[in-house]
Amino acid sequence: MQNLRVEGPVIIAMNHPNAFTDPIAITYVSYPVRLKYMARGDAFKPWLVGWLLEQIGIVPIYRIQDGGLAGLKKNEDAYRRVNQLLKNNSKIIVFAEGLCVQERRLRPLKKGVARMVFGAYEAIDDERLVVLPVGVNYSKADKFRSDVFYNIGEPIFVKNFIAQYRENPARANKAFLLALEPKMKDLITHINDKNYDSVVYQVEELCKKDRIKAQKLDHSNLNHDFIVLKQLTETVNLAVEKKPDLVDSFKTSADDYFLQLKKHGLKDWLINPKQNKNVSTTNLIFRILTLLLGAPLYLLGLLGNYLPFKLTEKLTKKILKKNVEFYSSIAIGLSMVFFLLNYILWFIISYLFFENVLQTLMLCMSLALCAGYCLYYHPFLLKTRGMYRILKNKAVKNKLSEKRKNLISLINKF
C-alpha cells in the first residue's frame, strides 16, 4: 500500500473483472486515501444519477461504442477534470483494458491510456506523476463471500518516457504500453488460452491447498494463495503449449470426475486423502450434536434475515440474466437497501410488541448477530452433510478416489 499512499499524483492502471466492486473494494482498503476513478460515460444519466456519480469522485469517460463521436468529444472535458485532480495530488483509477470481462486474463490495453498519461504529465508538469499497476484477483468473482486480492506492483515514473514522447509521441505511446502490460500481467493469474480456463479451475481445486501446505505457506494469506495459483496457472499454460494431448486427456477425465462429485452432492476435499482425515463416524456424530446445539441461533438468524437475502439474490439474477460482471455490484447495492428496510420493519414490529425501545434494539441486535452466526453455521452444516454422504456410500468414495488418483498422476506429468 505504500506505493499508493504517496504524496504525489498517481494514476492506477487496473484490470477490470467485476464492475463497480473493483473500485469500491480498493477504495475501502486504501483508506484514508480517497481514490477517484473513471467509468463508462453512458452510466451518467441526466440530472440526479449523473450528479451523484460525479460527487463521489467518478469521472465519465466515453468509448466510441458508448457515445459515438459526440461522446469522444466530451472526453476532452473528462481529461481536463482528471488533470485538475492529479494537480491536487489525487489518486485516479483507470481500467486499462477499456472493458469489464470476468476472466482470468489481461485483455490488450487501450491506446487511450498512454495518451491520457502523457497528456496529464504535460498538463500538470509534475515529475512525481507515476502509473501504478494493480492486479485484481477474485477467488470466485460472482459468488457471495469469495475473496478479492489487490496485488499492487511497482510504480512506473512517467518522466522516464517524456524525452521519447516529445520526439515521437506514437512511438512513446507504444513503448509505454509495452512496459505497462507485462507489469500488469504479472499481478494477476493470466490463462493464455480461453479454451483451458476450466482446466486451471480444476487443477486449482485438486492441488492448490496441498501445494500451499507443501510450500509451508499460509492458506489464509491471500498473497500466499496467489503465489501458488500463479504457479499452477503458468504450469497449465506451459503444458497446453508443450503437451496439449496430455492436457486434453486430463480435461476429459476431470470433467467426468467433477460431474460425478456434483451428481452425488460431494466436494473434492471429501475424496482428497490429505484433507479428509477427519471424515469418520465419530466426528460425524460430534458435528451433528454441535449442529443441534446451534440450531436455535441459526433458525433465529434465518427468520430475521432470510427474506432480504433471497430477495437480493432473486432480483439481481432477474435484472442481469446473463451479465455476470455486474452481479456482485448489483447484489451489494440491493442488499444495502433490503437489509436496511428489513431492520426498520423488525424495529417497528418488535416495538409494537415490547413497547420498549431498549428491548426492541436488543432484539434487532440479536437478529444481526445471529445473521453473522449463520455465515459460519451454514458451511459447517453443508460439510457435515457431505461427510454423511461419503460415509454412507463407500463404493462411490472408492470409485471417485481412483478417478482422483488418475487426475493427480496426469497433473504430475505436466
pLDDT averaged per 10 residues, the chain (length 414): 91 94 90 86 66 76 64 76 91 92 93 93 94 96 90 96 95 96 96 96 96 95 96 97 96 97 96 94 97 97 95 92 87 94 95 91 95 96 97 95 96 92
Say how far apart CA 224 and CA 91 lie, in whole Å.
27
94 within 8 A of 176, measured Cβ to Cβ: no
Strands 156-157 vs 35-40: parallel, antiparallel or unpaired: unpaired
Residue type, 144: F
CB-facing half-sphere around the CA of 165: CA atoms within 13 A: 17
Largest CA distance in the chain: 78
Which residues belong to CATH 3.40.1130.10 in the chain? 10-186
User: Other C-beta atoms within 10 Å of 361: how many?
Assistant: 14
Q: Is 152 helix (H, G, I), strand (E, B) or coil?
A: strand
Say how far apart CA 331 and CA 317 lie, in whole Å.
9
188 within 8 A of 65, measured Cβ to Cβ: no
- Tell me what pLDDT residue 64 has: 64
- Tell me what pLDDT residue 66 has: 60
Say how far apart CA 328 and CA 121 lie, in whole Å.
35
Say how far apart CA 315 and CA 58 lie, in whole Å.
26
Residues with Cβ within 8 Å of residue 391, at least 6 apart in sequence: 279, 280, 281, 284
- Tell me what pLDDT residue 68 has: 59
Dihedral sign for Cα atoms in the order 179, 182, 184, 186: negative
Q: Which of 173, 164, 172, 137 is nearest to 153 (CA)?
A: 137
pTM: 0.89
Query: What would the grid cell of residue 351 be?
Result: 416495538
Say how far apart CA 237 and CA 247 lie, in whole Å.
10
Query: What would the grid cell of residue 68 be?
Result: 459515438
Residue type, 194: K
CATH superfamily of 10-186: Glycerol-3-phosphate (1)-acyltransferase (3.40.1130.10)
Please identify which residue in the block is written with the cell numbers 486427456: 249
Residues with Cβ within 8 Å of residue 322, at least 6 apart in sequence: none
- Tell me what pLDDT residue 57 has: 74
Say how far apart CA 309 and CA 335 lie, in whole Å.
7
